[in-house]
A and B are shown apart, each in its own frame.
Chain A
Amino acid sequence: MRRGAVVGLAPLLVAACGRLQGFGGEAPPLVSFEVVFQGDLAPLRPAGVSDEHALRVALVWGAQWLTEPFCVLPAESPEAAAVIDAGCRDPFGFVPAVVSVSVPIAVDVPATLTLSQLPAADVMVGDVTARVAYATLVVFDDRDDTGTLELSRPRRPPFEFESERGFQPGRPDSLDIIYGASFVTMTAPDQRVAYREGAFDTASAFYPRAGCDPPLPGFSVLAAGGFSAEAALAALLSGGLPPEDPATCAVSAPAETPIVIAARAPAEVQEVGCDERTDDSSIGYRRPVADLSDLASRVVACAHLPSFGTGGGSPASDLIQLVVSGRDSDRCKGLTHYTLRGCFEDVNCADPEWDYTANPPAWWPCGP
């Protein structure tokens, strides 16, 4: 009888040792990545920088972005080619959307980067049955001590009525210096973080890896060897995706593969810290200001409005645009387009909001 009572009470005694935690306690990370940063930073430092203030590595989710037609169509003149070179970012480069967590890192010392939140829906591409997000790991010197990587944005020259249209002059460039990233461009070997929900659309053109295995459900680390820009353009013209060399592809669970980032000159990788105002290749044509004094510090060209010659869309315009790049000192590349006639939403609008074709500004270097 006594033995039976003891046996019966044993589960109770064991249970009494349990500890309820409620909503407290440490939350298990959703995923952890091991990151190794390699290289010598001393020869890579920009002029005037003598040391690293606080080296960190940040996970940056990528944006879906299309370059504007002017940057990918053949340049109609050497001047236009110079503007493309000075003002167009790599059309196959990684474009950041959101900076997630960051942790301190040191050269050749593995660091663990953990996520406690999934990527939000706004960085995932696809529908709820098949969507994916990609991220790059960016090593940067946190010179403003904010603990995170601040993104920069192309800075535009002024245009008429910008304040009335709600445009802001733009935030100053980030002080952070980027020394490396695991995924800089699709035309070079990369290691990227993927987060996948549901199925995977192999025809998706969101940072495509055609020919490679799809990312694992949940988090994974992907690698690809990259494709050439020529191959990419040829594949796009044929309606396909540029293929990767399967031998360079890899898919692994986050715990299985460290992500290795090589130190590079900031000028080579700083575009991964440049976000974009628009992501659909749309262009806002601007009304010229009466006096544009800082053209000397920019590369400019007069060019026709770009057309793919498909016969669709708006009729080709006879307007000549002035395309202006950013300044050499700007962190991010960008273009500004001025026309003597047009509307903010449609340069070919029937009832233009401005028309200076009869009396262009004195500084206007192009024809009407």
Chain B
Amino acid sequence: MHKREVRVAFQRCFHHLPTVVAAVALTASAARARADDGRRPVDDDFPVQSKGALAVDAGLVLALPATWQTGLSSGIGAGVTRGGRFAWGVRGSWSSATESSLVWTVSQNDFRLRGVAALQQPAGRGVFALRLGLGPTFAYEHRTRNQGARAGLTGSDLETSALAVFPAVDLEGVITLHVLGRWSLVLSGGPTALIADGALRGGWTAQIGAGWQP
């Protein structure tokens, strides 16, 4: 592109700049005017009453299955924490995933128990937190031999089950948005890791749910 073409393009762009600035200014002043015109702050319409150190939350969990590197495990989770800028607590979740290969249909239920410690930073109606969780993940696996029932297989030839436990760690970012009264919207997610068969396996977990704080 020639310099002349560049210059023309800039001129064409900046030709509309005053119009854009004026529009933004008018919008801002109009918004101020509406606030001044009697619109009350959101805190007045939706007052936050949660002031306590205890926080409880529960919601939908999505995660990578504990010992697979594929699939989506979904379920529910809940937790309770206590504290201010530094909080501690416990959490638990269950999620399940089912996947198939040519030979097997495998369901895996993951039960996660965590002791958690969190650093929290209030910001307006919300709270940002970084939460570290440590604890066991119980994985219950149920395998069904594909076509086995049609072929007349029974017992362990048709189905097998196993339960195993792995040490795990989660690091999650947490956003809590106080909505109304003692209730809040809680979003969290981040990487996870567990040790299985002597190897470190990575994963991720996320939760969306509701919180309650007295």
- Contact surface of A with B, Cβ cutoff 8 Å: 12, 15-16, 18-23, 27-28, 30-31, 116-118, 195, 197, 216-219
Asked whether, in the complex, the Cβ of B152 is within 8 Å of the Cβ of A21, the reply is: no
Give complex CA distance A218, B165 in Å: 38
12 contacts between A and B (CB under 8 A): A15-B165, A16-B163, A20-B67, A21-B143, A23-B106, A27-B104, A28-B153, A28-B156, A28-B158, A30-B145, A218-B152, A219-B152
What residues of B have a CB within 8 angstroms of the CB of A116 in the complex? 103
What residues of A have a CB within 8 angstroms of the CB of B103 in the complex? 23, 27, 116
Q: Count the B residues whose beta carbon is within 8 Å of the partner chain — how many?
A: 28
Asked whether, in the complex, the Cβ of B162 is within 8 Å of the Cβ of A21, the reply is: yes
Overall SS of chain A's interface:
loop
Interface residue B101 (Cβ < 8 Å from any Cβ of A): yes
Chain B window 123-164, contacts with chain A (Cβ cutoff 8 Å), 1 for yes, 0 for no: 000000000000000110101010110111100111010111
Asked whether, in the complex, the Cβ of A18 is within 8 Å of the Cβ of B163, the reply is: yes
Minimum CB–CB distance from B154 to chain A (whole Å) comes to: 10
Asked whether, in the complex, the Cβ of B139 is within 8 Å of the Cβ of A30, the reply is: no
Q: Given A30-B147, A197-B150, A218-B150, A21–B141 Cβ distance below 8 Å?
A: yes
Counting from the closest, the 5 A-B pairs by CB-CB distance are A218-B152, A15-B163, A18-B162, A30-B151, A28-B157
Q: Given A27-B104, A28-B145, A19–B151 Cβ distance below 8 Å?
A: no
Q: Given A15-B163, A15-B164, A30-B153, A22–B141 Cβ distance below 8 Å?
A: yes
Give complex CA distance A19, B139 in Å: 10
Interface residue B68 (Cβ < 8 Å from any Cβ of A): yes
- Contact surface of B with A, Cβ cutoff 8 Å: 67-68, 99, 101, 103-104, 106, 108, 138-139, 141, 143, 145, 147-148, 150-153, 156-158, 160, 162-165, 196
What residues of A have a CB within 8 angstroms of the CB of B108 in the complex? 20, 22
What residues of A have a CB within 8 angstroms of the CB of B164 in the complex? 15-16, 18-20
Q: Given A117-B147, A118-B147, A218-B151, A19–B165 Cβ distance below 8 Å?
A: no
Minimum CB–CB distance from B86 to chain A (whole Å) comes to: 30
Asked whether, in the complex, the Cβ of A23 is within 8 Å of the Cβ of B150, the reply is: no
Asked whether, in the complex, the Cβ of B145 is within 8 Å of the Cβ of A31, the reply is: no
Give complex CA distance A103, B138 in Å: 42
Asked whether, in the complex, the Cβ of A27 is within 8 Å of the Cβ of B147, the reply is: no
What residues of B have a CB within 8 angstroms of the CB of A195 in the complex? 151
What residues of A have a CB within 8 angstroms of the CB of B145 in the complex? 27-28, 30
Asked whether, in the complex, the Cβ of A118 is within 8 Å of the Cβ of B138, the reply is: no
Give complex CA distance A22, B99 in Å: 9
Minimum CB–CB distance from B184 to chain A (whole Å) comes to: 34
What residues of B have a CB within 8 angstroms of the CB of A216 in the complex? 152
Asked whether, in the complex, the Cβ of A31 is within 8 Å of the Cβ of B165, the reply is: no
Give complex CA distance A344, B68 in Å: 57
Minimum CB–CB distance from B34 to chain A (whole Å) comes to: 59
Minimum CB–CB distance from A315 to chain B (whole Å) comes to: 48
Q: Which of B99, B150, B156, B162 contacts A20 (CB 8 A)?
A: B162
Asked whether, in the complex, the Cβ of B160 is within 8 Å of the Cβ of A21, the reply is: yes
Asked whether, in the complex, the Cβ of B151 is within 8 Å of the Cβ of A118, the reply is: yes
Give complex CA distance A328, B160 in Å: 56
Give complex CA distance A15, B166 in Å: 11
Give complex CA distance A118, B162 in Å: 27
Give complex CA distance A117, B157 in Å: 14
Minimum CB–CB distance from B156 to chain A (whole Å) comes to: 8
Asked whether, in the complex, the Cβ of B143 is within 8 Å of the Cβ of A30, the reply is: no
Minimum CB–CB distance from A97 to chain B (whole Å) comes to: 19
What residues of A have a CB within 8 angstroms of the CB of B67 in the complex? 20, 22
Q: Given A23-B106, A28-B145, A116-B103, A219–B162 Cβ distance below 8 Å?
A: no
What residues of B have a CB within 8 angstroms of the CB of A28 in the complex? 145, 148, 153, 156-158
Minimum CB–CB distance from A1 to chain B (whole Å) comes to: 21
What residues of B have a CB within 8 angstroms of the CB of A22 in the complex? 67-68, 106, 108, 141
Minimum CB–CB distance from B170 to chain A (whole Å) comes to: 20
Minimum CB–CB distance from A196 to chain B (whole Å) comes to: 10
Give complex CA distance A21, B106 in Å: 9
